[in-house]
Structures are given as structure tokens and as C-alpha cells.
Structure 1
Amino acid sequence: MKGAMTPIGFIGLGNMGQAMALNLIKAGYKLRVYNRTADKAAPLVALGAESVSRPSEAAAKGSIVITMVTDDAALENIVRSEGFMERLGQGGLHLSMSTVSPATSRMLADFHDVNGSHYVEAPVFGPPEAAAARKLWICVTGSKEAKKRAWPLLDAMGQGIFDFGEKIGSALIVKICGNFISFTAMEAMMEACRMAQKNEIDPSEMMEMLSLTMFTAPVYQNFGKYIALHTEQITLPGLPNSWIAGKDMGLFKERAVLAGTEAPLANLLYDLFSEVPSP
């Protein structure tokens, strides 16, 4: 019985993490949760989760800890926090589901390896609504043994898992590329809606037609509706959670430079988003 096993640690209870943790509870897992703002744990505690006061307390010897945090600094601070690696111990597994730099991910994987624990990266595609509905698409990279152990947890949080091998950083590169394509589509939709509106065409009618025919992907169907309804007011940095785009475009630019590839669109998007502060 899952509830009788060692609790799964879950760190990071923002809009995404909260929904993902809830699905684990629904799947029968017992959780030990941590969040910097402790009161965000209350809904999960009401369902049987245990709230802890430090990141290290979410871990136990040989257990699994999931992190879903904002950025590289937050993730590294958790891993290097007092007692975290010691409590995770030999054979422990850290399942990192945040979107961070592939370089940071590789550095943390090496750090885990030195300490006798395992590290798997598993960034996700989908908004909080998809997380709540267990409709996330999950990319995963790590050792075969560690991925096999993490797979049931990933399955409880998503609708599909895509394995990108054992080279840490690979799943994150896919995630960063996917986000780049999505943000490019959003900017294109905004420019198209403004142009259509200036030519006395209803942007909502146009986006409905396009998202049902040529562009049936969720980014067009979901964001297209929002953009069409706010054509007059919205700009790319004005989209909900647009600070995430600034972070992720920075990650894309970093990888493009390291790979020696041209990225003019990424440079443009980064410039548009770079002034948006994180919450």
C-alpha cells in the first residue's frame, strides 16, 4: 500500500507544485511537504500531508524528494541547504521537475553522485490547469534505474512521459526549446490579432477559425482566446506569468551561445521579456 511507504518529499507548492502534489495524494502517496510560505501547505495537510519547516526535513534516508521551484538559485539553495543531502542519503532520489539551466542540472547531478544519491530531471509542459487535471507532458532524463523508480510518480502527475536518455540536461533542452516555440507563437498571435483588428476583423473570430484548422495545438487554442480578447490592452510582457518567459528565454539564449547556433528570435523575445520582474 502506497500510504504505508516512506513519505515522498515535495518541495515547492506554487500553482504548479500544489496541483502536482495533490495528484500524488489522490494516487495514494503519503507526502512530506515544504514551501517557503508555509501556509500554502494547508490544503495538502488537510488531506493528510505532513508539513515540515526546512527543506531537509522533506527527505529521509533512501527516500524520494521532488522539487518544483522557481529557478536555478532556488533549486541549488535547496540541494545545498543544511542537512538535505545527508538526510537523503545513500540511494536517495531527487526528482527535479523545475525548468532550470541544463548546466545547473548537470552540476547538481554530479553533486548527488558524489554523495551516493540519484538525480533525475523531469521538466513539464502545461499550465496549472493541466497540472490539476493530471494532463502534464513530462520529459525525463537520468539513469535507467532512477527513472524506473521515478516513473510511477511521474505517471501520477501527467498524461504522457517522454524519455530523453541518460545524459542530464537533455530533457531540459527539450523543455527550453518547447517554451521558446510557445512564446514565439504568442508574439505572432498578438501581432496578427492587432493587425486583424485594425482591419475591422474580430480577433476572436479569426483565432477561433485558425485554432480549429491550421493551428490546433494548445498554445494557439488556449492563449489564442486570451490574446484575442485582450488585443487592445496586452503586450507580450503583459501575459500572465510572463516573468517565466524572461527566465526561459535567457536559458535558451545561454544554450544557443554554448552550442554556437544563431538565435535572432530568441534575442528579440528575451529583450521583450527581460524587464519583467519575478513575483
Structure 2
Amino acid sequence: MKIGFIGLGNMGSVVARNLMKAGHDVTVWNRSPGKADALVAEGAIRAATPAEAAQGDVVQTILADDTALEAVSFGPDGILSAPSKAIHVSHSTISVKLAERLTQAHADHGSVLVSAPVFGRPAAAEAAKLFIAAAGPADALDMCEPVFDAIGQKTFRIGGHPPAANIVKLCGNFMILAAVEALAEAMTLAQKHGVAKATLLEVMTGTLFGSPAYQIYGDIMVRDAFRPAGFAAPLGLKDMNLVSAAATTAWVPMPALSVLRDHLMATVAREGEEIDWSGIAKIIAEDAGA
């Protein structure tokens, strides 16, 4: 397939590379052009604008936030200014409101939005082991299957309305951070009573909590390996704010969400913006004098 790829950060660059490894023709664009150099050297085509990247069958975006996605979609040289009707596959964690707006804008343009946010840290992306939550018209999802197969281990079809996938992603990120919070509190309690964090993790993941969230983040906490960030705390805070907006719109009380947001803000305030979002474990331990 002819694929345009926009957004070459920690996740985007390895996802684009996996598409190339799978034999797709990939055209890349990034706001900072230098980030495309390595991929171009490996055979990707460099686009001058997002619109130029959207000339093939599919254009994929992995961007940090609503503002970045709005710029590449609605800007004067954005995806929606392109004459072609490439399927826009948005992997970004964005607001439900923007997903609704993009769905309508693509319909007006005669093109299609597929929301396909992913679960997985950079190591999973590099190994093409992401989990993909995808929503959009069935024929568009069918066409995108080779793309999803090249970057992920499993695709979940959420339905025909693209924003549904975005709400699933927000729910998932909330649950991941809630798991980090619970494990960090439990580790701190165990440690204060003389039980090593590694011992608690071995018992918990070997019995009732053997899921990737506890295993991956538990290992990070045991090693205090919060830098370099696989997912930076400010991005986690952005996502929790998106969860809050979605909850407010639907009148859903989420009291645990307030704790997670406060711990993320405290983590950034004390540790800086380059710490992983699981760095909330440091704040929890420090508050307990551990």
C-alpha cells in the first residue's frame, strides 16, 4: 500500500519503520524535518507538507495532542486540503470532541476517518506488538487490516463510529495509571513493613495480577527506572485531562481520577517533565517517607 505517515516521535518513527519492513511504500512528514532523515535514508519518501503525505491509500498520524493533530488536519497544507481521499488513520490519544469534529470534516471532504489508538510502550511498538483499538466504516477497517497487521499483534474492532475507539483508549489509559497507583501504594506499604518491592511484585504478578500493566510498570518501580521516559508524565496528565473532559460531558463521577491527576502534577513539579508517568510511584513513596 501507499502510506503517508505523519508524526515521527518515539512511537511514530518505529511504527513507520515497521510499515516499511512489511513492504509498504511510506511517505513521511514531521514538523521537525530532521526526524525524518533516518527513515528517508532507509527508503522512505520525504513529503513537504501533510497534504503531500496524504496522496496515497492511507495517511497515518501519531501526534502528541489535539493541537498537533488539528494543525496537520485543518491547516492550509493539512490532510483535509489534499485532493486525494486517503483514509486518515489517527493513532493519537485525543479528545472525543476532536474525534467527532474530524469524523464530520472527513465526511464533508469525501474521505474517511478511522480512529485507531494503540496500547503499548515504545518497546512494543518496535517489536510490532501494539494492541490497536479501531473504529470506523467496516470497508475502511478492512482496507486498513494490512497496516494494522504490520504494526500490531491484535486489532479490536470497536464499531463504525470513530470516536468510540478514542473513548476506549482514554478508559484504558485511566485504568493503566490506576493500576500504577495501586501497585505503588501497595509497594510502599510493603516496603515500610520490611518486605522488598521485588518480593511483593513476584507474589502479586505470580498470582492474581499477572497482567502486562502490573508486570511492566512493576519492574520499572522495582528498578526506579523512571528515566528515560517511555511515556512522559506531562503526556499522561494530558490524557487524564481528556478523561476528565469526557467524564464531565457524560456526567460520570470519577473520584480516583482526581488522585491520579494530582500525583502526576506533583511528579512533574518535583521531578521535571522528562520523567515517566509511572514516576508517581516516587511521589507516593516520598509522601510515606519511604
User: What's the CA shift string for 1:84-131, capped at 9, x where partnerless?
Assistant: 346633532111110101110110111111111111100000001000
1:20 to 8, 12, 15: 15
User: What letter is aligned with 1:103?
Assistant: K
- Give the Cα–Cα distance (whole angstroms) in 1 for the partners of residues 218 and 114 of structure 2: 34
Matched, 1:250 2:259: no
Aligned residues: CA RMSD: 2.0
In structure 2, the partner of 1:82 is 76
1:237-276 to 2 correspondences below 5 Å: 241-274=232-265, 276=268
In structure 2, the partner of 1:73 is 67
User: What letter is aligned with 2:149?
Assistant: D
- Answer whether contact 1:89 1:116 (CA < 8 A) is retained: no
Matched, 1:123 2:117: yes
- Answer whether contact 2:134 2:162 (CA < 8 A) is retained: no
In structure 2, the partner of 1:39 is 34
User: What's the CA shift string for 1:164-204, capped at 9, x where partnerless?
Assistant: 11122111111111110110111111111111111111111
User: What letter is aligned with 2:208?
Assistant: M
Matched, 1:161 2:164: no
- Give the Cα–Cα distance (whole angstroms) in 1 for the partners of residues 230 and 60 of structure 2: 28
- Give the Cα–Cα distance (whole angstroms) in 2 for the partners of residues 11 and 267 of structure 1: 33
- Give the Cα–Cα distance (whole angstroms) in 2 for the partners of residues 229 and 83 of structure 1: 45
User: What letter is aligned with 2:6?
Assistant: I
- Give the Cα–Cα distance (whole angstroms) in 2 for the partners of residues 109 and 202 of structure 1: 49
- Answer whether contact 1:136 1:158 (CA < 8 A) is retained: yes
- Answer whether contact 2:73 2:80 (CA < 8 A) is retained: no
- Give the Cα–Cα distance (whole angstroms) in 1 for the partners of residues 117 and 230 of structure 2: 21
- The list of structure 1 runs, each at least 4 consecutive aligned residues, that deviate by more than 3 angstroms after superposition, is 85-88, 274-279
User: What's the CA shift string for 1:33-64, capped at 9, x where partnerless?
Assistant: 0112222212211220012232222121x631
Matched, 1:152 2:146: yes
Secondary structure of the structure 2 residue equivalent to 1:163:
strand
For structure 1, list consecutive stretches of 5 or more residues without a partner in the other structure: none
Distance 1:220 1:85, change over 3 A: closer
- Answer whether contact 2:4 2:60 (CA < 8 A) is retained: yes
- Give the Cα–Cα distance (whole angstroms) in 2 for the partners of residues 176 and 106 of structure 1: 15
Q: Number of aligned pairs?
A: 268
CA drift at 1:158:
0.4
Structure 1-normalised TM-score?
0.90
CA drift at 1:19:
1.1
CA drift at 1:30:
1.1
- Answer whether contact 1:164 1:171 (CA < 8 A) is retained: yes
- Give the Cα–Cα distance (whole angstroms) in 1 for the partners of residues 171 and 78 of structure 2: 31
For structure 2, list consecutive stretches of 5 or more residues without a partner in the other structure: 275-290
Distance 1:228 1:239, change over 3 A: farther
- Answer whether contact 2:122 2:230 (CA < 8 A) is retained: no
- Give the Cα–Cα distance (whole angstroms) in 1 for the partners of residues 100 and 179 of structure 2: 30
- Give the Cα–Cα distance (whole angstroms) in 1 for the partners of residues 79 and 246 of structure 2: 28
Identical-pair percentage: 38
Secondary structure of the structure 2 residue equivalent to 1:33:
strand
Secondary structure of the structure 2 residue equivalent to 1:164:
strand
1:120-199 to 2 correspondences below 5 Å: 120-199=114-193
- Give the Cα–Cα distance (whole angstroms) in 1 for the partners of residues 80 and 187 of structure 2: 54
- Answer whether contact 2:71 2:78 (CA < 8 A) is retained: no
- Answer whether contact 2:50 2:79 (CA < 8 A) is retained: no
User: What's the CA shift string for 1:2-22, capped at 9, x where partnerless?
Assistant: 5xxxx3100001111111111
Secondary structure of the structure 2 residue equivalent to 1:175:
helix
- Answer whether contact 1:141 1:169 (CA < 8 A) is retained: yes
Secondary structure of the structure 1 residue equivalent to 2:159:
coil
Structure 2-normalised TM-score?
0.87
In structure 1, the partner of 2:86 is 92
- Give the Cα–Cα distance (whole angstroms) in 2 for the partners of residues 39 and 239 of structure 1: 21
User: What letter is aligned with 1:251?
Assistant: L
User: What letter is aligned with 2:257?
Assistant: A
